[in-house]
Amino acid sequence: MQHAQSRARSRRWIGRGGLASLAVLIAFGVQPVVPALAGSWSSPVQLPGSCGSSVAVNRAGAMAAGGTFTAADGTTHVEVCTSPDGKTWQATDLGRGGDQPHGGPHPAVAVGPDGRVVAVWGSTVGCPAACGYIVQAAVQPAGGGWGAPVTLSTELNWGAGGLVLGMDGSGNAIAAWVGFYADASHYAVLPVAGSWGPAQTLSTYVQGRARNLSLAVSPDGSAIVAYATDHDAIWAVSGTVLGGFSAPVFVAAGDYAKNSAPKVALDDAGQASVVWSQSGRTQAATRSPGGTWSAPAVLASQSSSSVATAIDGAGNAIAVFGSSYSWHLAGGNWGAATPLPAGSSGGLVAADPAGTFVYADSGGNAFTFAAGATSFGTGSGSRGSLADLKIVPGLAAMLAAGAVSAEAVS
């Protein structure tokens, strides 16, 4: 009850009216103390298989987690663990694959509102005679068994990173990846009632060779893919899961160090945030509901080993970089870099439309707070090496050290 009351008080204070007042206070140099929310995470549930790479959850509490293992013959296999409630789990070996691309989840997973599970991964085939790199996917219908894997593309760039998967609030799924030919990026869509469509082009060599894709999908079906080029310039491609995408939009110049890996977040109003690190700075930009990207803001005058961002339904965004964080409250600008809780660095951050933010550091210590919070409060305690963090209205899920913890967030 104390947890619910604390959250309710924070929600009342930090509602749209409260946020407007907060913006006024900040404009006059006054920094109000915004309370953290009292978090209450479940005990970690150890997964029954090698599913420690990615996690997904729906509003009903159904979950999926994916990973890989080495089979007796020495090959890499994809394994997905599924659960109707986050407590009882079943592991399934989906067969050989999951060893590509370099970086990102192996495999990426998503859970639809009806419990359907989608998994996407990259695989090496044809070696040693003639190695090829492909994108594969499999689907488990709600209440059914896994279908046979299908090939979405025979042209995956194994070294560019960023095979990504997202799903909207209706259960339509989208996968995106970097191809091998001219390092263009591509995507394919799985409608909620249909089969995978053909691979389509997101970006081409005209913008520069794509690498390190990041995908954000909002509940209403809007989507953004942010990526870096081989010059470290940051680009964004916007559209909808079912309706396609517009031409890539230039967001920021690069420094030619080939070390940028942008992270993007999006809400239903069309507001977005993107954060990235380069060799001499960490930067961020925001997008208005009309689709215009702001000029880049420098959050730190040094690079960050990892970056993450999240945005809520009111347009409040947070950036987490290295051992610091910064707020961009609706109608304002990026604030000063502020230290994360003692002992925390790196990690992931997520937000739901109502304004609940969850940050989990690289050690699996998770904090729950409201937009604009100046204190993250007491964390969950370290749960081990963090792999993934997701949030949907009402529930957050964290995958750390091969175990899943959950938290009710409303």
- DSSP symbols for 205-266: TTT--EEEEEEEE-TTSEEEEEEEETT--EEEEEEETTTEE---EEEE---SSS----EEEE
Q: How many CA atoms lie within 13 A of 311 on its CB side?
A: 31
- Name the residue with tokens 């969950």: 380
pLDDT confidence of residue 37: 63
pTM for this prediction? 0.90
Instruction: Render pLDDT for 216-249 as a digit per residue (tens, 0 to 9).
Output: 999 999 999 999 998 889 999 999 999 999 999 9
pLDDT confidence of residue 36: 59
Instruction: Render pLDDT for 134-150 as a digit per residue (tens, 0 to 9).
Output: 999 999 999 999 999 99
* CB distance 324 to 300 below 8 Å: yes
pLDDT at 187 over 70: yes
pLDDT at 131 over 50: yes
From the CA atom positions of the chain, what is the Rg in Å? 20
pLDDT confidence of residue 17: 37
Residue 64 three-state SS: strand
**Residue 391 backbone dihedrals phi, psi, to 5 degrees:** -140, 140
pLDDT confidence of residue 38: 53
CA 102 to CA 156: how far, in whole Å?
Answer: 11
Q: Alpha helices, DSSP H only, in 355-406? A: none
Instruction: Render pLDDT for 384-407 as a digit per residue (tens, 0 to 9).
Output: 999 999 999 999 999 999 999 999
pLDDT confidence of residue 39: 62
